[in-house]
């Protein structure tokens, strides 16, 4: 067992390894704050893989020698909660470099990823370059999302990377996880992971993105009993949980946006927004939701991955380097939003496509387990042979 520290947590921990947003029951307290609950998925999933007695947060907003001394004396390692940290506009908290320089215990980057701009090569700040070299020096390996992230770090001279994907994929600690498709005509309940906000910095064609998003949501909702799964957007939270004044304000803001007004909202989308939105500040609520669905698909990295990790089929929609890298790392069936072709679900409903995921998941599970082992991190990921031995004994 171990005493561990987390760097950049996302939510409060309860029942040892479960995560929800801070003061989640105080809806009005955070209704104006956009916190991407997908980050909490990663934090929750990371904790479910690790074996530890005690968990605390390492403070990097400012350097305090007494806190670093305590970390070195009382804790076994620090892990950086996985996220999209390697991009050209990240602002690291003020104390990050100094804290890293003074920590004598291992510092483990756990499923981190790089974000490419829509055009041109990713250019990191000198601060970011220094910080990532420090992470590399303080661990046996850096666990990265995929090949693109490994390439970015390689160009910085960082060669001790291991491609592990994301902890969310392995949250149920099942080395034998697989997706077996039912007959498509048996599919009734479908979750759609939504992302109506998009930036020109990462998307080469915002109009195509929004129009494809709109048409896909409408088509799926005509065919199936759908729920529109949000991940923390302020306006959508207000539409679901706000006062009448807040609901009216949110509706107005959504429909005043030129992009959304011209390329996203129409009468049918308005109706879906009024009747099918879903959101929760508690990670376990998402897990329960995806377990109840026959299919979950759409634009959210971690919402889709939460479904796959629970055995629910999912198809990714690729629109930037992050989504493309995720789909490649796990061989997840993936529709390219900019392909020039409409999305046709039948084209992706083939067991052979999901067999590619099944094989790749098996290998990535091994990679994640080896990453934890080589960094001397106590964990709860059984090997496939150990899992089978337990099952034989139980039988």
Residue 392 or 305, more confident: 305
Angle between helices 283-291 and 37-49 (to 10 degrees): 90
149-176, pLDDT tens digit by residue? 999 999 999 999 999 999 999 999 999 9
Look at 389 and 342; give whichever has higher pLDDT.
Answer: 342
Q: Which residue spans within the chain are E strands per DSSP?
A: 3-7, 12-14, 18-20, 54-57, 77-81, 107-112, 142-144, 161-163, 189-193, 225-229, 277-278, 295-298, 314-318, 334-336
3-174+361-387 fold = Rossmann fold (3.40.50)
Q: Say what percent of the chain tops pLDDT 70.
A: 97
Average pLDDT over residues 243-267: 96
Query: Is it the case that residue 390 has pLDDT exceeding 70?
Result: no
Q: How far apart are CA 70 and CA 91, in angstroms?
A: 26
pLDDT at 180: 98
Q: Tokens 């089929």 — which residue?
A: 313
Domain at 184-351: CATH architecture = 3-Layer(aba) Sandwich (3.40)
Give the chain's mean pLDDT. Answer: 95
Per residue, the 3-state secondary structure of 64-132, as one string, reads CHHHHHHHHHHCCEEEEECCCCECCCCCCCCCHHHHHHHCCCCEEEEEECECCCCCCCCCCCHHHHHHH
For the stretch 175-197, pLDDT in tens is: 999 999 999 999 999 999 999 98
Mean pLDDT in residue range 103-120: 91
Distance CA 183, CA 188 (A): 11
Structure confidence at residue 393 as a pLDDT band (50, 70, 90) = low
Residues 6+ apart with CB under 8 A from 132: 86, 124, 142, 153, 156, 158
How many CB atoms sit inside 10 A of residue 329's CB? 23
Q: How many CB atoms lie within 10 A of CB 352?
A: 8
**CA separation (Å) from 348 to 62, 212, 298, 351, 361?**
49, 17, 13, 9, 18
Are 58 and 71 contacting, i.e. CB atoms less than 8 angstroms apart? yes
Q: How many CA atoms lie within 13 A of 336 on its CB side?
A: 9
pLDDT at 200: 79
Range(s) within the chain of domains with CATH label 3.40.50:
3-174+361-387, 184-351
Q: Which residue has the tokens 């929609």?
A: 317
In angstroms, the CA 232 to CA 37 distance is 6
Total Cβ atoms within 10 A of residue 311: 14
* The pLDDT value given to residue 391: 58
Cα–Cα distance for residue pair 1/4, rounded to 1 Å: 10
| Mean pLDDT score, 92-115 | 96
pLDDT tens for residues 208-237? 999 999 999 999 999 999 999 999 999 999
Question: Coil, strand, or helix at residue 200?
Answer: coil
Contact between 10 and 41 under an 8 Å Cβ cutoff? The reply is: no
pLDDT at 394: 57
Sign of the four-CA dihedral 69, 74, 79, 80: negative
């Amino acid at each position: 067992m171990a005493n561990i520290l987390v760097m950049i947590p996302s939510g409060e921990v309860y029942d040892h390894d479960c995560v929800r947003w801070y003061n989640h029951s105080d809806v009005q307290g955070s209704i104006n704050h956009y916190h991407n609950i997908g980050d909490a998925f990663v934090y929750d999933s990371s904790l479910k893989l690790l074996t530890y007695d005690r968990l605390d947060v390492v403070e990097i907003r400012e350097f305090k020698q007494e806190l670093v001394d305590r970390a070195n004396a009382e804790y076994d390692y620090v892990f950086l909660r996985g996220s999209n940290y390697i991009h050209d506009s990240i602002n690291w908290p003020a104390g990050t470099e100094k804290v890293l320089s003074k920590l004598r215990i291992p510092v483990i980057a756990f499923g981190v990823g790089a974000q490419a701009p829509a055009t041109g090569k990713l250019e990191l700040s000198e601060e970011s370059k220094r910080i990532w070299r420090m992470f590399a020096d303080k661990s046996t390996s850096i666990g990265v999302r995929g090949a693109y992230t490994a390439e970015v770090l390689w160009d910085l001279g960082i060669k001790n990377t291991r491609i592990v994907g994301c902890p969310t994929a392995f949250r149920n600690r099942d080395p034998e996880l697989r997706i077996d498709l039912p007959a498509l005509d048996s599919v009734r309940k479908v979750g759609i992971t939504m992302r109506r906000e998009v930036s020109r910095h990462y998307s080469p064609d915002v109009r195509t993105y929004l129009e494809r998003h709109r048409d896909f949501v409408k088509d799926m909702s005509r065919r199936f009993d759908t729920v529109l799964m949000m991940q923390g957007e302020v306006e959508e939270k207000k539409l679901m949980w706000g006062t009448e004044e807040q609901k009216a304000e949110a509706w107005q803001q959504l429909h005043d946006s030129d992009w959304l007004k011209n390329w996203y909202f129409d009468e049918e989308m308005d109706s879906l927004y009024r009747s099918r939105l879903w959101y929760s500040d508690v990670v376990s609520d998402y897990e329960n939701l995806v377990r109840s669905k026959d299919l979950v698909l759409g634009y959210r990295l971690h919402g889709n991955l939460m479904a796959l990790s629970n055995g629910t089929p999912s198809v990714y929609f690729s629109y930037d380097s992050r989504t493309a890298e995720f789909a490649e790392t796990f061989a997840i069936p993936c529709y390219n939003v900019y392909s020039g072709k409409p999305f046709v679900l039948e084209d992706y409903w083939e067991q052979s496509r999901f067999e590619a995921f099944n094989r790749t998941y098996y290998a990535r599970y091994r990679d994640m387990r080896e990453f934890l082992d080589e960094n001397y991190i106590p964990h709860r990921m059984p090997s496939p042979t150990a899992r089978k031995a337990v099952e034989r004994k139980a039988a």
